[in-house]
Amino acid sequence: MDEYVRMADEQDNTIALVSVAKIQKEWMDLTLRVAQTKTELGALEAENKALRTLLERVIEHRQKSHGELVTLLTTLVSKLPLNDVGVIVARLMEHNQNVASVSASLIKGKLDDTFLQPTLLKNLDKTKRDLAVAAKVEVEALLKLETPFESCLLQSLLEKPDNFFSPAFARANRGFVKSQLPRERILKEFGADALIFFKDVTTDVKFNPRPKPEEIMLAFKPEFAEVLAQNPACPHRKELEALHKKILQSRENNEHSRAQKNAFLRLSFFLELLHYYENQSTESPDVVFAQRLPPVIEQLAITGERDTLDEKLLLAAEALLAMIINTDHRKAVVNNIGKAGGLARILRYTLAFRVEQLSDSDPLTHECIKHLIPQGAAPTPAALASVLRLFNPHMQQVCIRAINATDRLRKEDAGKLGRAVAQELGLKDVLEKLNEQSTLSPERERQLAWDQIKDLIGSRATPNEVIATIRKRLHGRYEADEVKACWLVLTEADAMVFVRVFCLFPYMPDGQADPLARPILETFVTRLTHEKYAATYAKVLAALKNLHKVKADSPALVNFVALVKWVDGEAAAKLAKDIGMAV
């Protein structure tokens, strides 16, 4: 113990023996080191702060540039003729949202609300909102019109529009159209005792002997009033009479029933379209736009009381079509109207020609004129004018020119009908041109016809449109002068136009062979290889060489040489040798 005390005293004495001068000197050094450390710490903090600011700027720039890139991509994708554009755009935007979320978590921890949104998605969101509002308006209209629908069923659409596609609503819709009622509704509202007032229209001994209970549809018996009088103790007498009255009103041909049907059709259109836009990844556009919506437009625009179209109903139909975002989908609806012919077919042409601006040689124009002018039965000018009056001004003139050149009537009768329709519509310019054409010499008329084809080529029309116009002209007037005029028009144009039109000559639109193709192509090949047209041959050869250089198996090149070989083997061998192809 004493030894430990002695050692501790020695240590204390050692510590105490340090001089004051040494302590002061070391204290100054320590103070300098602490000051230097503080200075370095401040420099590191400033550097870290600058690096963080730079990192935030880089991430923010990356975030914004990525958003702009996605916006550009979605804008480009939305212009493609794809059925699932909405799905692609949604995936791009989801990816952009994920990138933005990660970027925000690195710097701020929250997302900005100022992201760019593609025009397509803006239009889609706006259309969805408009469709939802329009559907609610139609539901309220159906409730006010006292339709045979269950009120609770209609009101459920205000909260959940997708209920429209439930089995219960599907049966209710079918019942409204056919003036029938689901059996389950009668049992729920009136009980089993009320079944004596209805007849089963579903159960059939031969075709459907045991239907499912929820699929059975009922209709009021024709002798409902007598049966009701025989059962004075019926507990739901007033309700049954009110329901029977609603059924009768919906079947009548008056303004009230028409208003009910129109409201139901508009509601169907809005909900079908809204359901598609909400479920584009699972819904087929062909089913929606080619099968479901065309009958709705057709029933809305055509009433049984009229044998002509009403412009007010056309405007209402166009307002519905305007809700469809994609132009191709809108055209699909219009093109699938009027499959059964009649007035519905005229509705199809009218809806198309109120928007489109087609040429005289367009297949749809010829199809319309053929429908308006049946074979051997020319309509009156007033009847044709009443239809054409609904078209846009451009298509009115186009259709009058097509009537003037139709093969459904004799040339003189077609000219008279065209001029009469132009006079009915008050188109003085068209009437003057038709009168001038009626007094033209054959040479002048030929020149004007091929000048129009030349203008068609100059306007960069497709080869199919050019060959359709040429074929119509040559089939109507096949002679040497016409073939020569065709040769001159095609060779004066670009060489690739000549090549592509040349390749289309043998094939009719219906897939059959054109009987005039071989003699016409023989004439063309003879001229092409003649020394008189050496310049033309050189121009065509240069175009074919370019095709061969870019792609040796180009369809245009291979088909052109094959058709030349079809009519003249020696000319084909010479042409292949000059191009550099294997003979």
In-domain check, residue 112: yes
Alpha-carbon distance 119 to 125, whole Å?
Answer: 10
End position of a domain, from candidates 372, 406, 439: 439
Q: How far is CA 356 from the centre of its chain?
A: 14
Q: Looking at the domain assignment, is residue 305 inside a domain?
A: no
| Any domain includes 337 | no
Q: What pLDDT does residue 363 have?
A: 79
525 inside domain? yes
Q: How far apart are CA 31 and CA 542, in angstroms?
A: 90
Residues near 201 by Cβ (< 8 Å), separated by ≥ 6? 180, 217, 218, 219
DSSP string for residues in 129-150:
HHHHHHHHHHHHHHHHTT-SS-
Range of the domain at 406: 362-439
Residue 297 is assigned to a structural domain of this protein:
no
Nearest CA to 489 out of 512, 461, 508, 518 is that of: 461
Closest of 270, 229, 299 to residue 131, by C-alpha: 270
Name the strands in the sheet holding 217-220, side by side, starting at the edge strand that comes first in the sequence.
Answer: 181-182, 217-220, 198-200
Task: Please state, in angstroms and rounded to a whole number, the distance separating the CA atoms of residues 516 and 477.
Answer: 11
Which candidate, 458, 493, 487, 492, places its Cα nearest to that of 470?
487
Residue 76 included in any domain: yes
State whether 574 and 470 are in the same domain.
yes
Same domain, 411 and 472: no
Do both 430 and 464 map to the same domain?
no
DSSP 513: B
pLDDT, tens digit (0-9, with 9 covering 90-100), for 354-408: 998 887 767 788 889 888 988 767 889 999 999 999 999 999 988 988 888 787 8
Distance, in Å, from the CA atom of 267 to the CA atom of 262, rounded to the nearest integer, reads 8
Contact by Cβ (8 Å): 130, 274: no
Indicate the length of the chain as a whole number.
583
**Burial of residue 138 (number of CB atoms within 10 Å: 0-12, 13-18, 19+):** buried
466, 379: one domain: no
d(CA 336, CA 322): 16
Q: Cα angle at 544 between 542 and 546, to 5 degrees?
A: 70
* 181-182 and 217-220 strand pairing: antiparallel
Give the β-pairing of 217-220 and 198-200. antiparallel
Same domain, 433 and 544: no
The whole-model pTM stands at 0.65
Q: Same domain, yes or no, for 417 and 521?
A: no
Helices (H) and strands (E) counted in the chain, each on its own, are 28, 3
Q: Same domain for 459 and 433?
A: no
Cβ-based neighbour number of residue 407 at 10 Å: 15
- In 396-490, beta strands by DSSP E: none
Residues sharing a CB contact under 8 Å with residue 43, sequence separation 6 or more, in sequence order: none
Distance between the two ends of the chain, CA-based, in angstroms?
A: 122
- What lies within 8 Å, CB to CB, of 457 at 6+ separation is 466, 489, 490, 493, 497
Q: Are residues 375 and 465 in the same domain?
A: no
Place of tokens 């109120």: 354
∠ CA(82), CA(86), CA(89), 5° rounding?
105
Residue 8 CA to residue 83 CA, distance in Å, equals 94
CA angle 364, 368, 371 (to 5 degrees): 140
Matching residue, tokens 């065709």: 486
**Cα within 13 Å of Cα(85), Cβ side:** 21
Report yes or no on 464 lying in a domain.
yes
372 and 426 housed in the same domain: yes
What local confidence, expressed as pLDDT, does residue 271 receive? 94
| Residue 343 included in any domain | no
Residue finishing a domain among 66, 85, 117: 117
C-alpha neighbours within 13 Å on the C-beta side of residue 80:
13
Residues 469 and 542 in one domain: yes
Three-state DSSP state, 507: strand
Q: Which residue has the tokens 């592509």?
A: 500
Same domain, 479 and 574: yes
What is the structure's pLDDT at 107?
62
* Residue 130: count of CB within 10 angstroms of its CB: 13
Same domain for 468 and 569?
Answer: yes
The structural domain count of the chain equals 3
Q: Which residues, given as ranges, of the chain have pLDDT below 70?
A: 1-18, 63, 66-67, 69-70, 72-120, 305, 361, 376, 436-441, 583
493 secondary structure, DSSP code = S
Pick the last residue of a domain from 67, 96, 117.
117
